[in-house]
Amino acid sequence: MTNPDLGTSPDEVQFRFRDDEPADHGTVTVDACCDQTNATAVRIEPGDDARTLLPFLDRLALIEVNFPAYGDGRGYSSARILREAGYAGELRAVGDVLIDQLSHMRRCGFDAFAPDQRLDEDDAARAFATWDNVYQRTVDGRKTIQETRHE
Amino acid sequence: MYSYDQYDQQMVDARVAEFRDQAHRRLEGKLTEDQFKPLRLMNGLYLQLHAYMLRVAIPYGTLNSRQMTALGDIADKYDRGYGHFTTRQNLQYNWIKLEDAADILADLAKVEMHAIQTSGNCIRNISSDHFAGAAADELVDPRPYAELLRQWSSFHPEFTYLPRKFKIAVIAAEKDRAAMRLHDIGIQIIEKDGEQGGEIGARFYVGGGMGRTPMIAPMIRDFVPLDQLITYSEACLRVYNRYGRRDNKYKARIKILVHELGAEEYTRQVEQEFAHMLDQGVEPPREELERIKPFFDDPAFEDGAKHVDRSDPDFALWVDRNTHRHKHDSYVSAVISLKPVGGIPGDATGEQIRIMARLAKQYSFDELRIMHTQNVVLPHVKIEDLHALWTALDAADLGAPNMDSIEDMIACPGLDYCALANARSIPLAQRISEKFDASGKTEKLGELKLKISGCINACGHHHAGHIGILGVDRKGVENYQLSLGGSEAEDTSLAKITGPGFTEDGVIEAVEKVTDVYLDAREDGERFLDTYRRIGMAPFKEALYD
Ligand code: HEM
Ligand code: SF4
């Protein structure tokens, strides 16, 4: 069963870096997702093990990663793990998502953002563009500074 | 030493711009203090008892004279004329105004410096052996590996909101001068027999730390090949980020995770993550290490005198105490003590900082190091220049001949500055050094590491002191606990508490008493620590409490 209270709606998504149509139904918990064969959208809480979703990635179109408090950084690892496993659907950061987390979240594979409180568009645009170059290789596929140095 | 290329510079400039933007949004009211706090913390800005405190990162404690000069200038321009060198091989300013912070960061960026990740729950400044590249006993210079880790850990997108702060140390000698096993990750660069002779790799110790629950890091991998160093570190961090405790900040350090899971289970999880990550291409290209290495090549050493003229006894004493054997026999590393008798451990005036910079330029190939014992090193000084150097240092009140003696103590800022303190550390340090200097006992005691923290957070490393002093609050009165037998060297051990605490006067007397027990009981060549280990706590307790 889809829990109507769970999940953000496409209307609440403030930033989206995808061309496909957003999934327009609520998400289920990780446990429910593993039990239900037809769920296509799921929400991960900080304590959930993202790897339990790996067998189901093919059928998922939306994974929300909840940040109840911005200081709890487990969601960054969840996101990278999902992308590293080849998940190609929408990865949405929801909850206490603030300007200054945007650039790191993007690097960890998030491509949609539904902050609890709408963010200033100009501030956000600047935040997404913080790093002209990057030191670490992540799932965003950007070439690292070290790679550029040794081309 | 390492110098930035356009990319490194761009990263720091980007951060300065970002911080300006954040400070601006705070002033406009778009950020609450709660939201701003973690951001300013990631830029090294703490709010303390009287003012903001700014910490400047000095990666692996190495800097050049231009950078050192800038630190002195900032002390004069934005602080009250002082800089404070810390146990993190960093520099801290204690009297900063929020309005000035972005300008200070911009001044720092001009000399390839910053305050990035010097606080907050992220990977902090990487520390290393302060004699790296100079010590006679090292396998290789550990700093290229530390630099590789610096780049990797700077603005790491996954590890910026860890359960708690994270400290990494890298050494490459059997002698540990960086308290390596008291770090979240301690890395020792080692050599093992490979197919083509010696192969260099990294030994990983994970889960050490001080604070309220001190722990010595267990070894979790005895050899990580160099071309997997970053990948292995990333695996260690990911397991911690996912499973480190977040319900209680006092149990959030990785040492608690390793302790609760057990080193074996933690290791198993790391190995599993590591196996997965090997396919993810997170390791920088091998050429990067090769690019970094030449920055740390030996300067052009020249043969010269191997001995000093010892006719001036004050100079001879300083040479005996404050110089360290160099890999080139015409050189030594010279330690500039920031522990003048009765002074504040680790403090230097803006002018003193600039003098040290000038002397580094003149006598040490333009290079300085910050020690975790809150002193400064000129790593490569020609033996024949030592007298001129000492004369200049002495004239600037920088010539105290007391390295590794009881006067060379570590003390945290304590109640004079710190919002978390229970007790003052600085006045205690000042009184102890005055007392031991006046009685002439310092000399007799030889190597004796005294470390003072103003509260359980242990910024002053008291757990690792041969003698440790911890400030506690006893019914609203400052009280001090004494502990004995700690070490942060390769024979790492944690100090044990002697018994009930003391008043300020009482603890000074207690230090006197335990040193007397040592002087009576010591056998040939024994340091305080050796005697303690041989005879145990009982005789000390007896002297203190009976
Ligand atoms: C004045 C403001 C300071 C504050 C508020 C502060 C706060 C803290 C806290 C809360 C901890 C415990 C962390 C934990 O166990 O989770 C800690 C540990 C530590 N701090 Fe500080 N500190 C300050 C200054 C310093 C200074 C000046 C130094 C260097 C001299 C320093 C070096 C350290 C070290 C080495 C540790 C122990 C690290 C470990 O547990 O592994 N701190 N500090
Ligand atoms: S040990 Fe305590 S008193 Fe000393 S600086 Fe750290 S937090 Fe402050």
Do the chains contact at B158 and A138, CB–CB below 8 Å?
yes
Residues 105-164 of B with CB under 8 A from A: 121, 151-152, 154-162
| B410-545 homologous superfamily | Sulfite Reductase Hemoprotein, domain 1 (3.30.413.10)
E strand or H helix at B192: strand B185-194
Q: Which pLDDT value is given to residue A1?
A: 41
Q: Where are the domains of chain A?
A: 15-149
Q: From residue B22, give the alpha-carbon distance in Å to each of A97, B16, B19.
A: 15, 10, 5
Q: Which CATH architecture has domain B313-395?
A: 2-Layer Sandwich (3.30)
Q: Which pLDDT value is given to residue A2?
A: 44
Rounded mean pLDDT for each run of 10 residues along chain B, 546 residues in total: 92 84 82 82 77 89 96 96 88 87 88 88 94 96 97 96 96 96 97 82 97 96 96 98 95 97 98 96 95 96 96 97 97 97 94 98 97 95 98 97 95 89 94 95 95 95 97 88 96 96 96 97 96 98 94
Q: Which of the listed residues B459, B462, B478, B480 should we mutate to test ligand 2's pocket, taking the one with most ligand atoms within 8 A of CB? A: B459
Q: Which residues of B touch A149 (CB under 8 A)?
A: 5, 7, 287-288, 291
Q: What separation, in Å, do the N-terminal and C-terminal C-alpha atoms of chain B show?
A: 55
Extended strands (E) in A68-146: 90-95, 112-115
Please indicate if any CB of chain B lies within 8 Å of the CB of A45. no
Q: Which pLDDT value is given to residue B177?
A: 96
Model ipTM value = 0.95
Please indicate if any CB of chain B lies within 8 Å of the CB of A31. no
Do the chains contact at A137 and B5, CB–CB below 8 Å?
no
The whole-angstrom separation of Cα B468 and Cα B511 is 10
Q: Where are the domains of chain B?
A: 6-110, 134-292, 313-395, 410-545
Please indicate if any CB of chain B lies within 8 Å of the CB of A36. no
Closest-CA residue of chain A to B235: A77
* Fold matches, B6-110 and B313-395: no
Of A94, A99, A97, residue with least CA distance to A26: A94
The whole-angstrom separation of Cα A137 and Cα A141 is 7
- Tell me the two tokens of residue B250: 């006092």
Q: Is B454 in the pocket of ligand 2 (CB under 6 A)?
A: yes
The whole-angstrom separation of Cα B150 and Cα B346 is 25
pLDDT digits (tens, 9 = 90+) for B74-88: 999 999 999 999 887
Fold of domain A15-149 = Rossmann fold (3.40.50)
Closest-CA residue of chain B to A106: B157
Nearest CB partner across the interface for A74, out of B156, B241, B283: B241
CATH of domain B6-110: 3.90.480.20
Q: Which pLDDT value is given to residue B37?
A: 83
CATH of domain B134-292: 3.30.413.10
Chain B nearest CA to A138, separation (Å): 7
Do the chains contact at B158 and A131, CB–CB below 8 Å?
no
Read off the pLDDT band of A5 (50, 70, 90). low
